[in-house]
Amino acid sequence: MRIPSDKQDKLHGCLEHLFNQVDAIITLLKGPVMSRGFEETKHFPVEHSLQEFQKKEEWTIKCRSMIQMSVREDPWNLPNSIKILVESIQKYVDDGKNQLLLALLRCTDTELQVRRDVIFCQTLVAAICTFTEQLMAALNYRYNNNGEYEESSQDASRKWLEQIAVTGVLLSYQSLLSPSVKEERVALEDIKATLRELEDVVFYFKEMDETLVANTSVFHHIEGSRQALRVVFYLDSFHFSKLPTKFEHGGCLKLQSILFTQALDSLEGPPGSNVPPDEIQQQINLNSLEKVQNYYRKIRAFYLEKSTDSNTTAIKIDQLIRPINALDDLCRLMKSFIATKPPPSELCKNSLPGAALLPVSSELCYRLGACQIVMCGTGMQR
């Protein structure tokens, strides 16, 4: 049996694509990352040395030759030859992944990982509890972060639910940890890393079976892995029907987490420290303010788009513009607190510069509809 010439052109194109992918995989497996993986585990009793591992490439070359021979002489055997090549590459890749996993486990700081696992659990539980309280208040039309502009709690609650369906929910964490104290500096680093991981968590909503769960309006179920965690909120039919359509139809709610921190004491670093404590604190707050401003821009665009509706009255537009002006002022105030470094005067030594940072950030986040969590390092802080 011979393959017609028009079919051969298509076949050669497909085989060329396959061989290019094989070459790309082999380049990765022969690269510096894999070499480093073998270097880190050279004292372990492993299945292959680096040289033996790299010799597997020779077998893939043989498989290619078999495929090319099948095209010329034995087309019936072509599928089997391709299958052998794919299985060989898969085995090659699996061996490489196992080697890298072994190297990662060897290099993992277990104490660090345990610390961050604990903090991740604490921040996630705090996020779930705080969001649940705010969600139930909104579903019962008791949430109002816009009361000073004479907006009813029912309208404010509905607006917040519509808002988070579009922009996600902002989780604002606050701490009084001091980067000048070693243990608290480490805690800040751990919290920063944990909050980045928290943004991979998504919230979903489902209607509960009220015949199975009695006398409760909401309960939670957590599923998935650390890299892709899903928190499912089961709501009774009364509250579930008040959710935005997106959530009723299975859409997810994304989380955006920020951290504002202000040390209780002066930020004098230990001698020889690479980064001054005040710079660590300033960088954390700057990054968080940038995320808050991005979130604010999304909210602003969402509400301004709604205000262009022909049914929107002048009163409603005024109710929208005044809060936006207040938010602009709060953002400017936050920038001045974070960006300004106090002069090293005697007066500043006896006072805490930026002491208003946390209350102002709290007010800003409250007006943005954030869920707010305060971290307590000691009983005194509580």
- Confidence band of 345 (pLDDT split at 50, 70, 90): very low
Do 87 and 132 lie in a common domain?
no
Q: Which residues pair with 169 in a beta bridge?
A: 255
Most confident of 82-86, 254-258, 259-263, 346-350: 254-258
Question: How high is the pLDDT of residue 49?
Answer: 65
- Is residue 204 one of the residues assigned to a domain? yes
- Is residue 63 one of the residues assigned to a domain? yes
> Does the pLDDT at position 363 exceed 50?
yes
* Minimum mean pLDDT range among 46-50, 182-186, 296-300, 341-345: 341-345
The total of other beta-carbon atoms located within 10 Å of residue 236's CB is 18
Question: How far, CA to CA in Å, does 176 sit from each of 201, 258, 285, 361, 375?
Answer: 25, 14, 12, 13, 8
Task: Answer whether 277's CB lies under 8 Å from 271's CB.
Answer: no
Q: What is the mean pLDDT of residues 149-163?
A: 90
Task: Answer whether 120's CB lies under 8 Å from 197's CB.
Answer: yes
The total of other beta-carbon atoms located within 10 Å of residue 91's CB is 12
Do 349 and 233 lie in a common domain?
yes
Do 227 and 279 lie in a common domain?
yes
- Is residue 381 one of the residues assigned to a domain? no
- Report pLDDT digits (tens) over 39-63: 777 766 666 666 666 666 777 778 8
Boundary-marking domain end, from 107, 140, 167: 107
Instruction: Report the candidate in 227, 294, 218 with the shortest Cα–Cα distance to residue 257.
Output: 294
The C-alpha atoms of residue 139 and residue 121 are separated, in whole angstroms, by 26
Do 149 and 244 lie in a common domain?
yes
CA dihedral sign of residues 20, 23, 100, 112:
negative
Boundary-marking domain end, from 69, 89, 107: 107
Domain count, the chain: 2
Question: How high is the pLDDT of residue 211?
Answer: 67
Do 74 and 214 lie in a common domain?
no
Do 129 and 78 lie in a common domain?
no
Q: What is the mean pLDDT of residues 322-326?
A: 85
Do 147 and 178 lie in a common domain?
yes
Do 118 and 30 lie in a common domain?
no
Do 342 and 207 lie in a common domain?
yes
Question: pTM for the complete prediction?
Answer: 0.71
- Is residue 382 one of the residues assigned to a domain? no
> Does the pLDDT at position 145 exceed 50?
yes
Q: Which domain holds residue 71?
A: 5-107
Do 28 and 175 lie in a common domain?
no
Boundary-marking domain end, from 82, 107, 132: 107
Question: How high is the pLDDT of residue 23?
Answer: 84
**Percent helix, strand and coil across the chain, each to the nearest 5:** 60, 10, 25
- Confidence band of 119 (pLDDT split at 50, 70, 90): very high
Do 150 and 285 lie in a common domain?
yes
The C-alpha atoms of residue 66 and residue 85 are separated, in whole angstroms, by 9
- Is residue 213 one of the residues assigned to a domain? yes
- Is residue 379 one of the residues assigned to a domain? no
- Confidence band of 381 (pLDDT split at 50, 70, 90): low
- Report pLDDT digits (tens) over 184-227: 888 999 999 999 999 999 999 999 886 666 678 899 999 988 88
- Is residue 311 one of the residues assigned to a domain? yes
- Is residue 64 one of the residues assigned to a domain? yes
Do 102 and 25 lie in a common domain?
yes
